[in-house]
């Protein structure tokens, strides 16, 4: 099959990492995989170096890459014309849209092949009426978690298929961890966006340093985004520079996971975060907010600790609780690894290919 996957830009976000990994699996299975970004990374303020690296990874794994338009991504007419040219040139058997804007452009371009769509979060960032307007364009939706499936079911009558996310190679640990380092290494991975609630995480880290001074730690944050300067200002204002470090874009996340002791996530909401799956496969216990997408992966007291979202003091308590429970650390690490083993790329890619083949034959 010729499979075209559509993303907003080539970035290090979870959805883009998943698409990159899936493309490699599709190519390995003998399919023609083309990943197309709607616009260059620079248009939306993303790192062009990361864009180059991600495209190179996809192409090294046998896939192809492209950028739909170099113009303003808000230009629907220009985008639709470029999309029509892409469809005529490539003649795909199936298209998988990983952004709502791509579905809109496909509708305006008059797409005639099956379209699969994934919404990668448990909340909507666009008016729900778009589901109704684009209902005839999408053949099936992929729900990446139970809560994502429930959201889709409440907004559209189109078929919904649950396919959970998966990690790429290089993360699965040989076995559980036994002890934490001193200082303990806390790691957060993800784009610096409001969804991830990094200001609260930073505040909680500063509080935890004071609440459990006998349990030294440092927090490293891998990721980039428009709010980086504001986050650094917050770190400086709290005097937390010795505790919290913003690493920026990183292409060595697997190495960072191996160096870490605990994974942290303070998001307001999630879909099924790829970075958390990578952490679980790396046998890292998790401290996270009890929100959609996360609570399907983390069981409080078993493979991590869940905290009330939005409350820095409670999140600080959760960090201290993890740091102060060395006797439970190995048990939580083993449970994290057991959970992480469920999210294999071959299972995820196989489920996608089965869906594509069924729709292409219909």
CB 7 within 8 A of CB 15: yes
Predicted confidence at residue 55, as pLDDT, reads: 97
Q: Which residues of 302-340 are buried (b: 16+ CB within 10 A; e: fewer)?
A: bbbbbbebeebebbbbbbbbbbebeebbbebbbbbbebb
Q: List all residues 6 or more positions away from 345 whose beta carbon is below 8 Å from its beta carbon.
A: 21, 22, 25, 166, 167, 168, 169
The reported pLDDT for the residue numbered 325 is 87
CA distance 111 to 309: 41
pLDDT at 317: 97
Strands of 115-118's sheet, edge to edge? 64-67, 32-37, 2-7, 94-97, 115-118, 140-143, 159-162
What domains, with CATH codes, occur in the chain?
2-166+344-361 (3.40.50.2000), 184-340 (3.40.50.2000)
* Nearest alpha-carbon partner for 203 in 183, 219, 189: 219
Strand, coil or helix: 218: strand
Going residue by residue through the chain, which has 362 residues, state the pLDDT in tens, using 9 for 90 and above: 999 999 999 987 889 999 999 999 999 999 999 999 999 988 887 778 889 999 999 999 999 999 998 877 678 899 999 999 999 999 999 999 999 999 999 999 999 999 999 989 888 878 888 888 888 899 999 999 999 999 999 999 899 999 999 998 889 999 999 999 999 999 999 989 999 999 999 999 999 999 999 999 999 999 988 899 999 999 999 999 999 999 998 889 999 999 999 999 999 999 999 999 999 999 999 999 999 989 999 999 999 999 999 899 999 999 999 999 888 999 999 999 999 999 999 999 999 999 999 999 98
54: nearest Cα among 95, 8, 121, 117: 8
For 117, the enclosing helix (H) or strand (E) is strand 115-118
- Per-residue confidence (pLDDT) for residue 236, from 0 to 100: 97
Torsion of CA 245, 187, 9, 120, to 10 degrees: -140
In order of 15, 97, 114, 354, the CA distances from 361 in angstroms are 27, 19, 10, 11
Q: Name the nearest CA neighbour of 294 among 191, 148, 156.
A: 148
Q: Of 162, 179, 355, which Cα lies nearest the Cα of 272?
A: 162
135 touches 103 (CB < 8 A): no
φ/ψ of residue 5, rounded to 5: -110, 135
Residue whose structure tokens are 């909401």:
269
| pLDDT value of position 169 | 84
- The reported pLDDT for the residue numbered 71 is 76
């Amino acid at each position: 099959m010729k499979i075209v996957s559509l993303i907003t830009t080539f970035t290090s976000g979870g959805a883009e990492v998943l698409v990159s990994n899936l493309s490699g699996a599709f190519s390995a299975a003998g399919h023609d995989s083309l990943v197309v970004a709607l616009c260059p990374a620079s248009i939306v303020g993303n790192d062009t170096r990361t864009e180059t690296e991600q495209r190179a990874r996809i192409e090294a794994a046998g896939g192809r890459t492209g950028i739909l338009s170099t113009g303003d991504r808000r230009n629907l007419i220009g985008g639709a014309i470029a999309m029509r040219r892409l469809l005529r040139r490539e003649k795909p058997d199936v298209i998988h849209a990983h952004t709502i804007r791509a579905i809109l452009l496909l509708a305006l371009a008059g797409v005639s092949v099956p379209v699969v769509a994934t919404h990668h979060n448990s909340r909507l960032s666009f008016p729900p009426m778009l589901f109704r307007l684009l209902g005839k364009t999408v053949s099936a939706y992929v729900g990446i978690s139970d809560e994502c499936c429930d959201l889709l079911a409440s907004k559209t009558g189109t078929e919904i298929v649950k396919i959970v996310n998966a990690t790429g190679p290089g993360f699965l640990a040989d076995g559980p961890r036994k002890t934490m380092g001193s200082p303990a290494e806390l790691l957060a991975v993800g784009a610096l966006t409001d969804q991830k609630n990094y200001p609260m995480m930073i505040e909680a880290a500063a509080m935890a340093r004071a609440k459990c001074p006998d349990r030294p730690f440092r927090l490293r944050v891998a990721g980039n985004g428009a709010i980086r300067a504001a986050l650094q200002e917050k770190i400086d204002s709290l005097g937390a520079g010795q505790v919290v470090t913003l690493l920026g874009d990183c292409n060595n996340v697997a190495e960072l996971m191996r160096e870490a002791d605990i994974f942290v996530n303070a998001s307001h909401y999630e879909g099924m975060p790829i970075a958390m799956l990578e952490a679980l496969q790396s046998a890292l216990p998790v401290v996270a907010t009890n929100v959609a997408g996360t609570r399907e992966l983390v069981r409080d007291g078993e493979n991590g600790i869940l905290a009330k979202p939005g409350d820095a003091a409670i999140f600080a308590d959760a960090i201290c609780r993890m740091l102060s429970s060395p006797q439970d650390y190995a048990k939580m690490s083993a449970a994290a690894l057991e959970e992480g083993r469920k999210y294999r790329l071959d299972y995820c890619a196989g489920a996608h290919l089965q869906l594509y083949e069924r729709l292409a034959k219909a």
